[in-house]
Structure 1
Amino acid sequence: MKAVAVLLLFLLSAGPKASAEETVKWGVFDWPPMHIVAGPEKGQGTFDKVMQHFQQRLPGYQHQVVVANTRRFWDYLKSGEHFCYVGSVQTPARERFAYFSLPDGLVLSNHVVMLKDRAAALGLAGPLSLATLLDNPQLKGGIISQRSYGKELDAVLRDHPKANLYAQSGGDLGLSLFRMLEAGRLDYIIEYPHVAAYFERLLGKEGSTLSLAASEAPPIQVVHVACPKTAWGQQMIARIDAIILADRGSEAYRRMLETWLTPDEQQVVRQAYDEVFIKE
């Protein structure tokens, strides 16, 4: 254990040396409760807390928070700016221009979210195939342009380029689509279940939707910190990896990731935390 502690201290002291002027930009989306950018719960989102944890563990930098849409996020990384994001899904396409940390968070995988009445009319009550929904031209779904839904669901979406889908670009990362779902303009959206539950509460629509697991996706989705694929980005990821290794076994880190989960989700995530997250 002493040798491990010495190694972690070395890694934390290694990496990019910040000058007094150096600023790290940290991206956030308008995507409660992952990021909460306004209102009384501002800054209390799950990924907000993870970001703040890293900021506290990376002294010597000026930390700037940037609220942006998905296109701007990836433009920042592609341009090589000193920019990082804490809740990234790692994909082969993104690996061309970004370095990724060890997993820094985990959630239940994205589900298909429908109004309960609509799901009942279609006879849907349990896990379903996203591909089957996409094959039905009578059903209209909603997604966010340039958002990854996990490699498995991304592959299903790529295999259905002519599906009846509305792809939102710009703006928030899900609430607008959820409003369209509630208004009956969409038959389904793809979203994390606890995010859908938060949207229900935000709009005073508790219990209005059903989150159905997609059979193509695994139960758990891990996320990572992404920084630009530059020497600076590689060094920053090395420091972040050291922080993750030092802190992820703590109860405080575990509770941080469970903040907005439902009790049922907490049970699944807590089991996966030990079986998947800690071992990676």
Structure 2
Amino acid sequence: MVLHIVEVSSVRMAAVMLLLICALFFSRLPQAQENGFTITWAINDAPPFHIIEGEYENSGMCDVLIDALSAQMPEVAHETILMPQNRIRMLSKQKQNLCFPCLIKREDSEVWLYTDETVVHAPLGIIGLPDVLAPYLRADGRISLSDLANALTLRMGKPLARRYPDVLQQYVDKVSNTSHFAELTGENATVRVLEQIALGRIDYTLEYPSILKFHNLTQGEKALVYYETTELSSKGISGAIGCTNNAWGEEAVSRINKALPVILSSPIYQKQEQFWHANVVVPDKSATR
């Protein structure tokens, strides 16, 4: 199905009020005090997960999660380091002590130990211009990523080092070995991919609707649309925090898991999460043809 991001005049005011409330709420919680154990939070410039600058600075989904955990865990010292996602993974592979708060939840690996679930994202889907994607739209309003990967006239774009659930990653891997593929590096790559699509330089990407919402809020554009994929359908994506797979990481995950129930049950935290889960409407099926 196709989902058009809906923005109303009160959205920006609601966002500002919500962020002020979150800041006030979390500032009233006990502040972390160093007591022999430090969690190093590695973040990257990838709105709306981490927002490094602008009107929504420090109000990304995972920015607020870090702030809430820091306040809820006063026995732990917390430090935050900004770096590219590929460097974060490299350092974790080298067993450097760090946690990355915005990962798809998977089985523990040689690189990452995962916390309990922190969020369920709306399904990853196809974002692009409706006229470009219309020939691939199926009767149920969804688009098959496999069809797009086999198309010889379309070009996919994505941020460097971004990975997807296996059911989708296999098609990304297939198209990545062709000339119909582009990876964007550097700051704010998630949104810059959408800008390239709007300019006609890339045809589609695979993303969450919340990223399209951030793009519309900050760029004032509404030309792009989001379609669910045939492969994933309406299935949400579980998120989790990943910490380096070593003894330090085991301790970090244990401490975080003990704090998560309080954070995730907080009405204010839940409202912040709901804000970034894009407001959408589903048009009549006839409107998608």
The two structures have a TM-score, normalised by structure 1, of 0.79
Q: Per-residue displacement from partner, 1:77-111 (whole Å, max 9, x unpaired)?
A: 1222221111111346x711110001111211211
Task: Report the Cα distance in structure 2 between the residues aligned to 1:22 and 1:235, rounded to whole angstroms.
Answer: 9
Q: Percent identity?
A: 19
Aligned 8 A contact 1:70 1:146 in 2: yes
Do structure 1's residue 174 and structure 2's residue 190 form an aligned pair? yes
Question: Is 60-69 or 127-136 further displaced after alignment?
Answer: 60-69
1:213-224 equivalent positions in 2, closer than 5 A: 213-218=228-233, 219-224=235-240
Note if 1:260 corresponds to 2:260: no
Letter in 2 for 1:231: A
Gaps of 5+ in 2: 1-32, 282-289
What is aligned with 1:274? none
**Contact in 1 for aligned 2:115/2:242 (Cα 8 Å):** yes
Question: In the TM superposition, what are the counterparts of 1:1-280 in structure 2 within 5 Å?
Answer: 20=35, 23-91=38-106, 95-120=109-134, 122=135, 124=137, 126-163=141-178, 164-205=180-221, 207-218=222-233, 219-264=235-280
Provide the C-alpha distance between the structure 2 equivalents of 1:144 and 1:255, rounded to a whole number of angstroms: 28
The alignment partner of 1:53 has SS state of helix
Name the residue aligned to 1:15.
none
Distance of aligned partners of 1:45 and 1:247 in 2 relative to their CA distance in 1, 3 Å threshold: closer
Kept in 1: contact 2:47–2:188 (CA 8 A): no
Unaligned runs of 5+ in 1: 1-17, 266-280
State the distance in 2 between where 1:144 and 1:229 align. 25
Query: Does the CA contact (< 8 Å) of 2:124 and 2:208 recur in 1?
Result: yes
3-state SS of 2:226 partner: strand
**Aligned pair count?**
245
- 1:70 maps to amino acid: Q
TM-score (normalised: structure 2): 0.77
User: Helix, strand or coil: the match of 1:137?
Assistant: coil
- Distance in 1, Cα, partners of 2:121 & 2:68: 18
Q: Deviations over 1:37-70 (max 9, x none)?
A: 1123211111111111111122233322222211
SS in 1 for 2:96: coil
- The letter of the residue matching 2:190 is G
Residue pair 1:22, 1:62 contacting (<8 A) in 2 also: yes
Conserved 8 A contact 1:46-1:259: no
Counterpart amino acid of residue 88 in structure 1: L
Q: Show CA shifts across 1:158-194 (max 9, x none).
A: 3445342112244334122112111100111111112
Deviation at 1:147, TM superposition (A): 1.2
Distance 2:147 2:225 in 1: 17
